[in-house]
Structure 1
């Protein structure tokens, strides 16, 4: 499972970590000296789904990682340009062969429970993630660390993992090979430390409610019961850099409908709202309008383990060809989302020689085009090949506005196919994640957000042994291409690129998934909210340095 997140996976690649796909990256800065701070430093923010977890070993969704980014601290934090800057690390030494990292840690960092943050907290955290008993879906991201894969598969003991504490304030990490983007990975919450005392105290409850968490970051999580639709991040007075944290509170409120959040914004109850189609049109000239196009995609997955007919390529292709992605984005969503050319979206890297975007070079038109006539012909062929007379299945998705709009369009589009009947099930986001993880669906709409901008961070989703591949599509050649890209040509950029291009084309030729659109996240954000660091290729919002201006 070579999910090395090579050269930039889901959060930002080597030199293009903060590629914003041509959208506006709104970091709104202003002089905070000379009385520029407002008297009230409270930010009111809306979310479209409930919080799933505050345990970095269990997190899989963007919102959970966003809360973790703001309540926890790792070796580095990314600045507004996506460059890793020292946080808990004060000095980093890299061996000549690029495989051994030695970090000196600051001695003034504390957990919110009063304990010192030490190198042992990193060792404990990383071992916990790769421990098979933890069942972390994201454990593969540590596979570039020596013995991580073997530990995660139960072949080696936890103490063989390539991370060790040299005293309290020196940490050493040994990799399996040089990883040019490793510092960027270390700025992602999965690689942050965990307080062992808290985990042992709370047991299985750790990270399930605010009271079962501790923080070493700018804020502390409060008022979250595990299921409620609002919570608050409050300034952590034990944070080592608290003098540069200006916000006292961040109130987060879940509003599945942008109609609700927009009304709250208009009534000055919140400082930010996401926008749906018509709202985008109405606010294009609003000074508070910010258009964002993160490296997040929405796709339709057909579960071959649940519906035997989905094993047939012609049936999968027929379903894809029946979907008019341009109509979906321009006539239904109308929020700035754009049709996908493949599974990997724009903003995920460029050819090392020609500089052509990956998404353009790998475009397989027939896999993402609309052609109802051909769709019907392929479906007829697929029916004959499988002995199927009709196709009935349910698409399950989240109960948010955009998800409802998308699934209702899909239902209508697919009903145009002969003897196809589609039902729709919309459920809370946290429940959806659980169903998807368990493979408990016939068809589902999935959204994937990168950790940093490299094609591998999308492509490795469909490796045969990926913890995220629960739709039943597997291909030995595909696995081999990714293995070669990461383990044979990792230091040969052009050869590696070609393997990734070939893998993406194969995934699309075989219709391993059905790409729909790249998700726009246009919003209204009050102009007096400054210094919100936005990352389009990973965990989106860092509020550490944010403030409310006068």
Structure 2
């Protein structure tokens, strides 16, 4: 998932409480029942088939619910599916759905999952996340236009049994069905709203613990309102979560310190240092990697590995982390994030980690740059570095402008644009060097490695390596049932990507934030949707 912002969340008693509040100070009382949260980017979409960023995923997974839901320690809990079974050959999953409703009162059935999945894999939808369905029977043929979406290996047996047939076993499938692209969708609602579906909070329907209100598609405020139609509504203890977009870190922290917000993201060493040792400080560890992509299609000379390696070697990652970000993030040890997946007690990075591709050596960078320019027949090039217009994005391009500008014959400029614009330009290849990021969708290295196959939908720079493609294919196909071989495939693929400098990893993110003591029970997840408010509570502190 593209990681551009950090944001995861009918009782008579509750109704009575609100009635009593209306007799007194309604504004103060009602606000005390809401969590006031901030984010640093605008919300792009609520369409589960088209979402491709952390903020959209977080809003969707708090306002909707899939078959299973994320839990601590890389586990999953029952969601709409109260139970499920897996066949002995690992290819058939049978999910038994509980009786639950949409926010409009209509029942959520197995047919809603069938329709939602078919809509996502349908090429006409142009979902960036349709590749997650690649192990579901016939998904590949559908994506290539060789079979209709109705051929997808998912069937409703009555209203409350869903049967999924995989083309081959997939050990992490249970994690996939917790994600937004696998959410149910109401065909009647999609048809009713047409092109406006998911573009604002009104033209939607919800089956999760909260429903979205107040989002018009471009505004900077909205609310996750408790959904009284949710099957477990009695367990939701907050009235909702009020979101505000604050791109400027100083403004966000001021809102927090004056009591207008219950949370603020922190940016830079000064803000983080101010709360060092405080119980309010939360260091959210994310299975993510920020990296540079080099556009080989727009700038063919970047197919030259020496030029790519020179650009990477010119970046002092420790200086960047300590002096520019100052947020506790970790200099990159490779592409796959550490602390996510282990084998025989050892982290994946201990098997695949190498200094190649993430080192700093300016003198070597200058030599390789001169060598590469000579090889491509150029004396100079001009590149723009594209990133978001957030505080961190601006600091990053400023640092890179200076760092890369040390290479003789290279003129570097910064481009900082709104989040939505940056995503659009990334996907359409309108960049020279892109500051991009990936947060793992599930706790397996393949969640990272599948991006950079030649035909990967997020391979924006169009790097290509046949051996890398084959290793990723082996891990997902012929070696999928052999844990040791599959692991070795992924280790080798990571090393090829780094040895060839397909991308230049910068750092693995740690997102510091401060949260008021009155807020409890907010859950953070390093993979998938990053935050969950379903167990949140508020005290009088």
The reply on whether 1:298 has 2:290 as its aligned counterpart is yes
Q: How many residues align?
A: 516
The reply on whether 1:454 has 2:444 as its aligned counterpart is yes
In the alignment, the residues of structure 1 paired with residue 284 and residue 83 of structure 2 have an alpha-carbon distance, to the nearest angstrom, of 34
Deviation string, structure 1 residues 115-145 (Cα, Å, up to 9, x no partner): 1111100000000011010010100101111
Verify the 8 A CA contact 1:103 1:170 in the aligned structure 2: yes
The reply on whether 1:276 has 2:264 as its aligned counterpart is no
Quote how far apart the aligned CAs of 1:341 are. Answer: 1.3
Match of 1:259 among 250, 267, 276: 250
**75-84 or 320-329, which moves further after superposition?**
75-84
In the alignment, the residues of structure 1 paired with residue 169 and residue 312 of structure 2 have an alpha-carbon distance, to the nearest angstrom, of 39
Verify the 8 A CA contact 2:379 2:409 in the aligned structure 1: yes
SS in 2 for 1:211: coil
In the alignment, the residues of structure 1 paired with residue 179 and residue 133 of structure 2 have an alpha-carbon distance, to the nearest angstrom, of 12
In the alignment, the residues of structure 2 paired with residue 97 and residue 145 of structure 1 have an alpha-carbon distance, to the nearest angstrom, of 14
In the alignment, the residues of structure 1 paired with residue 350 and residue 406 of structure 2 have an alpha-carbon distance, to the nearest angstrom, of 30
What residue is the counterpart of 1:208 in the other structure? Answer: 199
Verify the 8 A CA contact 1:70 1:543 in the aligned structure 2: yes
- Describe how 1:440-519 pairs up with structure 2 within 5 A: 440-519=430-509
What residue is the counterpart of 1:90 in the other structure? Answer: 82
What residue is the counterpart of 1:14 in the other structure? Answer: none
What residue is the counterpart of 2:217 in the other structure? Answer: 226
In the alignment, the residues of structure 1 paired with residue 2 and residue 315 of structure 2 have an alpha-carbon distance, to the nearest angstrom, of 27
- The alignment yields a C-alpha RMSD, in angstroms, of 1.8
What residue is the counterpart of 1:540 in the other structure? Answer: 530
Quote how far apart the aligned CAs of 1:395 are. Answer: 0.9
What residue is the counterpart of 2:13 in the other structure? Answer: none
Quote how far apart the aligned CAs of 1:94 are. Answer: 2.0
Deviation string, structure 1 residues 259-282 (Cα, Å, up to 9, x no partner): 111000000000011111211111
Quote how far apart the aligned CAs of 1:348 are. Answer: 2.6
Match of 1:149 among 136, 140, 157: 140
In the alignment, the residues of structure 2 paired with residue 486 and residue 142 of structure 1 have an alpha-carbon distance, to the nearest angstrom, of 12
Quote how far apart the aligned CAs of 1:178 are. Answer: 2.1
In the alignment, the residues of structure 2 paired with residue 464 and residue 308 of structure 1 have an alpha-carbon distance, to the nearest angstrom, of 16
Quote how far apart the aligned CAs of 1:79 are. Answer: 2.7
Verify the 8 A CA contact 1:295 1:538 in the aligned structure 2: no
TM-score by length of 2: 0.93
**116-125 or 69-78, which moves further after superposition?**
69-78
Quote how far apart the aligned CAs of 1:10 are. Answer: 10
SS in 1 for 2:284: coil
In the alignment, the residues of structure 2 paired with residue 381 and residue 365 of structure 1 have an alpha-carbon distance, to the nearest angstrom, of 21
In the alignment, the residues of structure 2 paired with residue 428 and residue 102 of structure 1 have an alpha-carbon distance, to the nearest angstrom, of 43
SS in 2 for 1:78: strand
Quote how far apart the aligned CAs of 1:86 are. Answer: 1.4
Quote how far apart the aligned CAs of 1:74 are. Answer: 1.1
In the alignment, the residues of structure 1 paired with residue 482 and residue 2 of structure 2 have an alpha-carbon distance, to the nearest angstrom, of 20
Q: 1:83 to 1:357 in 2, by over 3 A?
A: closer
Match of 1:170 among 146, 161, 164: 161
Verify the 8 A CA contact 1:10 1:452 in the aligned structure 2: no
Verify the 8 A CA contact 2:2 2:52 in the aligned structure 1: no
Verify the 8 A CA contact 1:347 1:453 in the aligned structure 2: no
What residue is the counterpart of 1:129 in the other structure? Answer: 120
Quote how far apart the aligned CAs of 1:502 are. Answer: 0.6
Verify the 8 A CA contact 2:47 2:199 in the aligned structure 1: yes
Verify the 8 A CA contact 1:10 1:458 in the aligned structure 2: no
- Describe how 1:339-378 pairs up with structure 2 within 5 A: 339-350=331-342, 352-353=343-344, 355-378=345-368
Bigger relative contact order, structure 1 or 2 (CA pairs below 8 A, ≥6 apart): 1
SS in 2 for 1:522: strand
The reply on whether 1:77 has 2:69 as its aligned counterpart is yes
Verify the 8 A CA contact 1:120 1:168 in the aligned structure 2: yes
Q: 1:505 to 1:71 in 2, by over 3 A?
A: same
